[in-house]
Structure 1
Amino acid sequence: MNSVSLSNELNELLQQNNVHIQLSVPQLVEKVLRRNEGVLTSTGAICATTGTYTGRSPKDKYIVEERSSKDKIDWGPINQAISEDSFDSLYTKVLNYLKKKDEVFVFKGFAGADKNSQLPIQVINEYAWHNLFAHQLFIRPTKDELDTHQAQFTVISAPDFKANPTVDGTKSETFIIISFERKTVLIGGTEYAGEIKKSIFSIMNYLLPENGILPMHCSANVGQEGDVALFFGLSGTGKTTLSADPHRRLIGDDEHGWSANGVFNIEGGCYAKCINLSYKKEPQIFEAIRFGSVLENVILNPETRVADYDDGSLTENTRAAYPIQAIDNIVDPSIAGHPNAIVFLTADAFGVLPPIAKLTKEQAMYHFLSGYTSKLAGTERGVTSPEATFSTCFGSPFLPLPATRYAEMLGEKIDEHNAQVYLVNTGWTGGEYGVGSRMKLSYTRAMVHAALEGELNNVETVKDHFFGLNIPLHVPGVPDEVLLPHKTWTDQTAYENKAKELAEKFKKNFEKFTDVPASIREQGGPLS
C-alpha cells in the first residue's frame, strides 16, 4: 500500500462524525469523566490507571524496514525491524477499528520550540485521557497556527486494539511501530501514555541530526546572566531535583535539541515521576498537579480523592503530566543560547566515582556513550548487590541512529561552543551501598552551583588513578576530603577492589563501540 492510499484511509477516519478535533482541556476533562476513563482528584487533576502495562514495552517497539531509512537505522534489540506489509495491514485494521468507535479524539500541535525545526504533529486517540495527555505534553498551537496546521507526523493510539502475533508479525498483542516513510506511529495493546511521548522523541532523534541538530535526553535551565546548563542522567540520579533551581529558569525537564542557534525544548509539558512526591521536596511539581493535569497509576483516597504519592502498590512508576506553564520560573518560549556547562549525573552505588570531575571532550564522549548509573540491591527481584547499568547517550531506547552519530555531534558542539562538561556522582561515598552513605544533597548542590558559576574553571585538579578523571581539590561549601573517594573509605583495599571492578565494567560495556577512535575508547578503563 502506498502513502497516498494510507493518507486516504486516514482522511476518511478524520471526516467521520465520531471524531473530535482539538477539544479544549475542560471539554476533554468532561469526556474523561463521562466515559469513566478516570476520576477527578482533590486538586482537580484527572487520575487514570493503565492496566497491565505501567511502563514502556521496549520489546514490543518496532521500526518499519523501508528503502529510504533502512540503511540509516541502528538495527538490533532496541530498533527491531518489521515489514512494510505487516505495518500496512495493522494500519488498516486499526483505522477500521477506530471508525467503529463512538468517539475518537485528535490533538494537533508541535514538537520543538524552535520554529526553524519545529515538527507539526497530530495525535489520534481512542481514549479522551490520552488526548488530554497529548494536549499537555506537546506544544499547543495558537489559533492562527491551528488554521494552517499540516501534520508531518501522525501518532495513532488504540489501546484496546490487540495484535495477533501469528498474523501481524509482532511478538505480542502490544505494538509500537514507527514508519519514517509513512510518517506514522501505530500504538496498540497498551494504555501507558508514555509510549505516545517517547514515540515523538524517537522521531525527533531520527530527524534532527539530518539538520545538524543534536537531540538530547536531558533537562535544561538558564541563569540570570543567560548562561545555559544541561543535565543528563538516568532515573534516580537527581536530574529533575538539580535542574529545578529557584535562581535559574527552567527551559525543559526531559527532551531538548541543540541547534546552531542554541538549545530548545522539544516538548510543551512535563512528565514527572511522582512516587514519594511531597511539597517539601518538589514544591513546583506538587503545585503543578491541578486542573487539566493527568496522573497515571497514583492511588487516591476513595472518599477525599487526595493523592497518596507514597503508595507504589500499582507501580513505582507513577507519573504526572502537566504543561510547562504550570511551573513558575520558566523560559517561555522554551528557547535559550548555547550551553556553558553540561552535567552528566550518575548515582554510583559502588561508591568509587568522585562526587564531581571535570571532563575533557574525549572523556565527555566516552561517558556520554556509556550513560552509567547503578541499580540498587533490593530494587528488583534478584538484585542482591549494586549492579552497573549503562544506557547509551542516557537514552538508548529512543535512538534510531547509531549512538556514535550523537556522540560525534556532542563532541563537535563542545568544541565549537567551548562548553565545560562535568561528571557528578549523586550516589554513595565512604563505601558501597549498604556500607557508605548517600552523598549529601547540599554538597551536590554546592558542586553543581560552583560548576555552573564557572568557579571550577581554573581550580587545581588531581587525576583519579582508576578512571583517569580530573577531580577538583577545592569546591566552595564542600569539605576537601569528600572530593576524593579514597579518602572517604576506611578500608583502602576494599576501595581499590571496588574501583577496579567498576572500571572493568566500563571497559567491557564499551567493547561494543568498535568504530570509536582509540583516543575516546581509552578514557574509561583502569590506568596502567
Structure 2
Amino acid sequence: MSIDLSYLNIKEYKNVYKNLSPAKLVQLAMERGEGCLSNKGALIVNTGKYTGRSPKDRFIVNQDSIKDKINWGSVNLSIEEEIFDKMYDKVLNYLKNKDIFVFDGFVGALKEYTLPIRVICEKAYEALFANQLFRRPTVEDLQSFIPGFNVIAVPDFKSQGKADGLNSEAFILINFDKKIILIGGTQYLGEIKKSLFSVMNFLLPEKGVLPMHCSANIGKDGKTSLFFGLSGTGKTTLSADSERKLIGDDEHGWCDKGVFNFEGGCYAKTIRLDKEKEHEIYNAIRFGTVLENVVTDEYGVPDYNDGRYTENTRGAYPIDYIDNIEKSGVGGNPETIIFLTADAFGVMPPISKLSKEAAMYHFMSGYTSKVSGTERGIVDPEATFSSCFGEPFMLMNPAVYAKLLGEKIDKHNTEVYLVNTGWLSGGYGKGDRINLPYTRAMIREALNGKFKNIEFVEHPIFKVMMPKECPGVPKEMLDPKNTWTDKQAYDAAAKELAAKFNENFKKFGSVSEDIVKAGPEIRRFTCI
C-alpha cells in the first residue's frame, strides 16, 4: 500500500516500508545488520551509548496552546518553536535517499479515547518495536487511517548539542501544535514508547480521564485491579499472574466506563529474569520479541544475569505472547489499587491500607529506593520520589492527576494498599528482601477482599494502617519494627525516611490540608 508523507514534508527517500509483518521486519533487521537472533528467535539489539531514557534531552515546544497547562521545570523542559523547526529541517535533509519504515497503529484500547499514531523510523527494529508495543490496526483501520500524532525517529542522526539549542547529541522534542515527536541521537527504544504515552497523559485529563503509569489485571470474579510502581518494585512481575487476566503492563486510562490499556504489548525488564518466578515473561521472549542490550553466549542463549551493558535490559513483545490476557484491553472500574514501593531502608510495612487522602498523598509522592546496581554511582540506598509513580511522563501538575484519582476512589469505593517489596530487618545490605511468595500472598488477600474483616493498627509515624494478620505470612513481619533487633535503630531510620517524605512534599506548594495530614508526622513519633 502506497503512502504519502508529504504532509510532513518528508520527500526524496529511497524506499518506504509500511506496516510490514514482524517476520519481514526481523528479516530486514538481520539483513541490515541491526541485530542478531537469540536461541529462541528473539531479535537482540544493542543500543550503544544510550541504554535508558535521556530525561535532560526531552523538550516540549513552548506554545500558546499549552504553555499554561504544562508543569514546567527540571522534568518538563521548554524549547522555542524556532529550535524545533531548525532540527526538523535537519532531520528531513538527513532522511533523503534513506530507507524509511512506517508503522500505523493506535494508543488506547477504548475507541472514544484512542489516539491514532504513525511511527516513521530509519531502523527495521524500531518499526518492529512499535508493532509489538502499540495497538495494531486491522486492514479496515488502514483504509481510512489518519494519524493524530507522528513520531519521527532517527537514532543515527546526532544533534550538535548547545549549538542547536539542545543539551547533547540526543533529543526528544514534542510539538503539540504540529502533532510531531522528533527523536534523534539515541537508539533506546523506550523513548518512542514513553514520548507517546506522555502525549496521552497530557490529552486525557481534559476529557475527565485519569492517565496512569500502572499495570492492570482482572480476576476470575471479573474484578479489576491496578498496580502502580517505579522500576524495580515488581510491577510487571506481580501483575503477570496466572490466576488473573492481564489487561496491560504499563500505561492505562481510567474513565467512567472503567480502565483501558494504552498498549498492545509489554516492555519488561529482563535483568536477572527468573524462569520459575517470572515464567510468563520468560516464555514470552521468542520470535518477534525485541531484546535490548541482553548478553548471549555463542549459541544465542541469553544470560539475563549479565548486566555488562546496562541493568536496564528489556524485552518488548506483544501482549498476546502472555497466555492469560484480556484481549479487549479493557476492564471495569477497579475495586483494588496496589501501590508498590521497594523500601531499601527497611521501615515501611510489607502491606498497609490507605485512606483516600493517604492514597492521594502517596500517589503524589511516588516513593521507592534506588540501590547499588540500579544506577551508576549509587553505593548506599537512596530515597527517590516520582510523582504519580511516573513523573517524567506526567506533563501536568501532579495535583491535577491526584484530584482525578481521589474523585474516582470516592465514586467507585476503591480500596488502596501500599505494598513494600523491598527490605526488612535492617534494610538493604543488612536485612533481607521480602520474599516474593509473601508479597504475592498479601496482594492476593487484598485483591480478594479478605482484609475487610481483619483488624488494622496505625503505624505511629507513617500513619498507614497495618493488618494484624495475613494468611501465609508470619504475623511478626507485618509490623516492620518487629523484624529489627535494634528497635532504636528502626526508630531512627523511620524518622529519617519520614523527613525525606515531608521535604519532598513541600515542592507541591498549596495542597489540601487533608492530604498533607495523611502523610508522615514525625512529631507524633515516640521511641519505644
Counterpart for residue 3 of structure 1: none
Equivalent residues in 2 for 1:154-303, closer than 5 Å: 154-302=150-298
Q: Give the Cα–Cα distance (whole angstroms) in 1 for the partners of residues 475 and 294 of structure 2.
A: 42
Name structure 1 gaps, 5 residues minimum: 1-5
CA distance in 1, matches of 2:352, 2:195: 34
Q: Secondary structure at the match of 1:449?
A: helix
1: distance between equivalents of 2:100 and 2:288?
A: 19
The correspondence for 2:445, drawn from 431, 446, 450, is: 450
Matching of residue 409 in structure 1 with residue 404 in structure 2: yes
d(CA) in 2 for partners of 1:380, 1:255:
24
Contact 2:13 2:97 in 1 (8 A): no
Q: Which residue of 2 aligns with 1:429?
A: 424
Quote the residue 1:312 is aligned against.
307
Deviations 1:478-497 (A, max 9, x none): 22211111222221111111
Deviation by residue 1:217-243 (Cα, 9 ceiling, x = unmatched): 111110011111101011111112211
* Superimposed CA distance per residue, residues 402-452 of structure 1 (whole angstroms, 9 cap, x where no aligned partner): 111111110110001000000011111222222221112222111101100
Contact between 1:9 and 1:95, CA under 8 Å: does it hold in 2? no
Match in the other structure for 1:55:
52
Asked whether 1:90 is paired with 2:87, we answer yes
State the 1:382 CA deviation: 4.4
Q: What corresponds to 2:324 in structure 1? A: 329
Secondary structure (helix, strand or coil) at the match of 1:388 reads strand
* 2:151–2:192 CA contact under 8 A, matched in 1: yes
* Equivalent position amino acid for 1:10 in 2: L
Residues 10 and 92 of structure 2 are in contact (CA less than 8 Å); yes or no, is this contact kept in structure 1? no
Summarize the Cα distance change of 1:72–1:114 in structure 2 as closer, same or farther, 3 Å threshold.
Answer: same
Deviations 1:199-252 (A, max 9, x none): 111001001111111111111110011111101011111112211211110001
Mapped to 1, the partners of 2:235 and 2:456 lie a distance apart of 25
The change in CA–CA distance for 1:384 and 1:222 in structure 2 (over 3 A counts) is: same
* 2:468 is the alignment partner of 1:470: no
**Partner of 2:507: helix, strand, or coil?**
coil
1:179–1:376 distance in 2 versus 1, CA, 3 Å: same
CA distance 1:7–1:405, change in 2 (3 Å): farther
Q: Deviations over 1:3-31 (max 9, x none)?
A: xxx98452543x85511111111211111
Q: Report Cα offsets for 1:464-510 as digits up to 9, x if no partner.
A: 11111111112122222111112222211111111111111110110
* Amino acid paired to 2:420: N
* 1:437-516 → structure 2 map (5 Å cutoff): 437-516=432-511
Distance in 2, matches of 1:382 and 1:190, equals: 22
Shift of 1:292: 1.2
TM-score w.r.t. structure 1 length? 0.96
Contact 1:465 1:527 in 2 (8 A): no
| Secondary structure, counterpart of 1:43 in structure 2 | coil
Secondary structure of the 2:204 match is: helix
Change (3 A) 1:202 1:367: same
Counterpart of 1:507, as a letter, is N
CA shift at 1:377, angstroms? 4.4
- CA-CA distance at 1:186 after TM superposition: 0.2
Match of 1:32 among 24, 29, 32: 29
- Per the alignment, residue 41 of structure 1 pairs with 38
Question: How far is the alpha carbon of 1:281 from its aligned partner?
Answer: 2.2
Partners of 2:390 and 2:13 lie apart in 1 by 39
Q: What are the Cα deviations for residues 165-222 of structure 1, in whole angstroms up to 9, with x where unaligned?
A: 3442111111000011110000011111110000111001001111111111111110
What amino acid sits opposite 1:131 in the alignment? A
Change (3 A) 1:379 1:36: closer
Q: Alpha carbons of 1:313 and 1:183: their partners in 2 closer, same or farther (altered >3 Å)?
A: same
Q: 1:381/1:186 Cα in 2 relative to 1: closer, same or farther (>3 Å)? A: closer
Does structure 1 residue 153 correspond to structure 2 residue 153? no
CA shift in 2, pair 1:278/1:382, >3 Å: closer
Contact 2:424 2:431 in 1 (8 A): yes
CA distance in 1, matches of 2:133, 2:374: 29
1:55-79 alpha-carbon deviations (Å, 9 max, x no partner): 1100100000011011111111111
Please say if 1:112 is aligned against 2:143: no
Conservation of the 8 A alpha-carbon contact between 1:178 and 1:185:
yes
Change (3 A) 1:493 1:239: same
Equivalent AA in structure 2 for residue 446 of structure 1: A
Counterpart of 2:71? 74
Rounded to whole Å, the distance in 1 between the matches of 2:90 and 2:219 is 50
Q: Give the 3 Å change call, closer, same or farther, for CA 224–210 of structure 1 in structure 2.
A: same
- The aligned amino acid for 1:58 is P
Question: The residue matched to 1:423 in structure 2 has which SS?
Answer: strand
| 1:464 to 1:428, Cα distance in 2 relative to 1, 3 A | same
Separation (CA, whole Å) in 2 of partners of 1:129 and 1:293:
10
Residues 468, 527 of structure 1: 8 Å contact kept: no
| Preserved contact between residue 227 and residue 338 of structure 2 (Cα < 8 Å) | yes
Contact between 2:14 and 2:96, CA under 8 Å: does it hold in 1? no
Give the Cα–Cα distance (whole angstroms) in 2 for the partners of residues 267 and 477 of structure 1. Answer: 34
Return the letter of the residue paired with 1:394.
F
Q: Distance in 1 between matches of 2:485 and 2:161?
A: 56
Checking the alignment, whether the CA contact within 8 Å between 2:311 and 2:373 is kept in structure 1 is no
Q: Does 1:394 align with 2:389?
A: yes
Partners of 1:10 and 1:17 lie apart in 2 by 16
How far off its partner does 1:527 sit? 4.8
Q: Secondary structure at the match of 1:444?
A: helix
Instruction: Determine helix, strand or coil for the equivalent of 1:215.
Output: strand
Aligned mate of 2:343, from 326, 344, 348: 348
> RMSD value over aligned CA atoms?
1.5
Q: Distance in 2 between matches of 1:342 and 1:181?
A: 35
> Runs (4+) of structure 1 moved beyond 6 Å?
none
Question: CA-to-partner distance for each residue in 1:80-104, whole Å, 9 max, x for gaps?
Answer: 1011011111112112211221x10
Looking at structure 2, the residues matched to 502 and 408 of structure 1 have their Cα atoms a distance apart, in angstroms, of 25
Match of 1:100 among 78, 97, 107: 97
Q: In 1, Cα distance between the equivalents of 2:361 and 2:475? A: 27
Does 106-115 or 458-467 show the bigger shift?
458-467
- In 2, the alpha carbon distance for the partners of 1:83 and 1:275 equals 39
2:320 counterpart letter in structure 1: Q
Which residue in 1 is equivalent to 2:8? 10
Give the distance between the partners of 2:48 and 2:276, measured in 1 at CA.
Answer: 30
Q: TM-score, with normalisation over the residues of structure 2?
A: 0.96
Percent of residue pairs identical: 57
